[in-house]
Amino acid sequence: MGKLPPINLTMRNTEALIPGSSKLAELRDMAANTPSDRVDPRLLVPSPYQPRTSYPEIEMQELEESVEAAGGIKIPLIVRPDINQIICGGRRHIIALKRGDTSVPVYWYVCSDRDAEELAAFENVKRADLNPIDETKMVLGMVKLRLDLVDRQAAIDLIQSIYARMRTKSGSDLCDNVVTEQIISTTKETIQQFTKGRLQLGTFATQKLKLLNLPADVIDAMTSKGIEYTKAVAISKLEDLDCRADLLRSAISEGMSLSEIKKQVKDLKPATKQQNPTPKDRVRLTMKKVVSSKVWEDVKKWEEIDLLLNQIDVLLAIDIEITEV
């Protein structure tokens, strides 16, 4: 069968801006109900916009069993013509290569790089949750895309700038000549949409962005081993590489809880040297202990402390008399 004429759908200014919109479902429906070409999977190119860097082993095993039971891949992969770049169907492509299939059904679809990136994000939001690193990068990519920013770092800078303004200014003062109300609104909506409504801009700025600065071994444990990001952040506080590697292995293999991990981190971290407090700090800390311990409720203790307080009063009175003279 010859190649079908590519169909060009307009993706901008449509419901496609909302994850789970009818546009992605419409495209899949067209792919499933239109006669498709068959192409050697080795000629197809994975999407450079695919936010998912790893696939859960159980998920892939279930898909492979499903494909095997169906006698091969039946649902067409959606592919950009000329460059043979996969838009939707990355998992099926991996399974086809693993099975050694000589051909897979494909549906040719013409779209821009911009639209291909959006479609890849929509597809992943509809499926199982991404790991926190991939999700964070995907959200930044969509903020960059929708606001026509230079790169992902520009998206990070914008989100941090908006969050800083939110902490110090009222809603009406957030905007200026550069950061408009529309930019703020689009940024907030994008974060909510591509985290399935779980995160607001403030939470994303304070919790998710810092994941990108975690040590490489911790990031690898999150992306390839599936360790939860709260546990990864706790383990990252260990600076000793060997200790950190050991704890990562234990946390994954033994399924350690967050509280267990935090205790291990505390035990493994070298004791910090206590700095000598200033005289003023020592007085403040001592009086704070006296008040919080409620020593006056213990008659014997209070008698001893009362004597000490009287001595302090006497010393202070002497200092005052000397000063006045």
Neighbour-count burial for 180-190, b at 16+ CB within 10 Å, e otherwise: eeebbebbbeb
- Each residue's pLDDT tens digit, 278-298: 888 788 878 777 777 777 777
- Each residue's pLDDT tens digit, 36-73: 799 999 999 999 988 888 777 788 899 999 999 999 99
What is the value of pTM for the model shown? Answer: 0.66
How many CA atoms does the CB half-sphere of 13 hold within 13 Å?
Answer: 1
pLDDT band per the 50, 70, 90 thresholds, residue 4: very low
The residue-averaged pLDDT of 17-32 equals 69
> Which residues, at least 6 apart from 169, have a Cβ–Cβ distance to it below 8 Å?
none
> Which residues, at least 6 apart from 125, have a Cβ–Cβ distance to it below 8 Å?
19, 20, 193, 194, 196
- 106 DSSP β-pair partners: 37, 77
User: Mean pLDDT lowest for which of 22-26, 211-215, 266-270?
Assistant: 22-26
| Tokens standing for residue 164 | 């800083």
Give the angle 230-233-239 at the CA atoms, nearest 5°: 155
Architecture of the CATH domain 7-126: Alpha-Beta Complex (3.90)
Long-range contacts of 214-220 (CB under 8 A, 24+ apart): 215/244, 217/241, 217/244, 217/245, 217/248, 218/244, 218/248, 219/133
Q: Where are the domains of the chain?
A: 7-126, 132-211, 214-268, 279-324
Q: Residue 12: pLDDT above 50? A: no
Helices assigned H by DSSP within the chain: 22-33, 57-70, 90-99, 113-126, 132-146, 152-168, 181-193, 201-203, 216-224, 229-235, 241-254, 258-268, 279-293, 299-324
Name residue, tokens 């960059």.
144
- 7 DSSP β-pair partners: 109
Q: Residue 124: pLDDT above 90? A: no
Cα gap 266→260, rounded to integer Å: 10
Instruction: Dihedral sign for Cα 219, 221, 224, 228, please.
Output: negative
Cα gap 53→235, rounded to integer Å: 22
Cα gap 83→44, rounded to integer Å: 8
Q: Are 95 and 66 in contact (CB under 8 A)?
A: no
% of the chain exceeding 70 in pLDDT: 85
pLDDT band per the 50, 70, 90 thresholds, residue 310: confident
The DSSP result for 262-281, as a single string, is HHHHHHHSPPPPPPPPPHHH
- Each residue's pLDDT tens digit, 211-260: 898 999 998 888 878 788 889 889 999 988 888 999 999 998 888 999 99
- 1, 23, 27: which is closest to 12 by C-alpha? 23
pLDDT at 9: 33
Q: How many residues does the structure list for the chain?
A: 325
Q: Are 251 and 261 in contact (CB under 8 A)?
A: yes
Kindly tell me the burial class for residue 290, based on how many C-beta atoms sit within 10 Å of its own C-beta (0-12, 13-18, 19 or more): middle
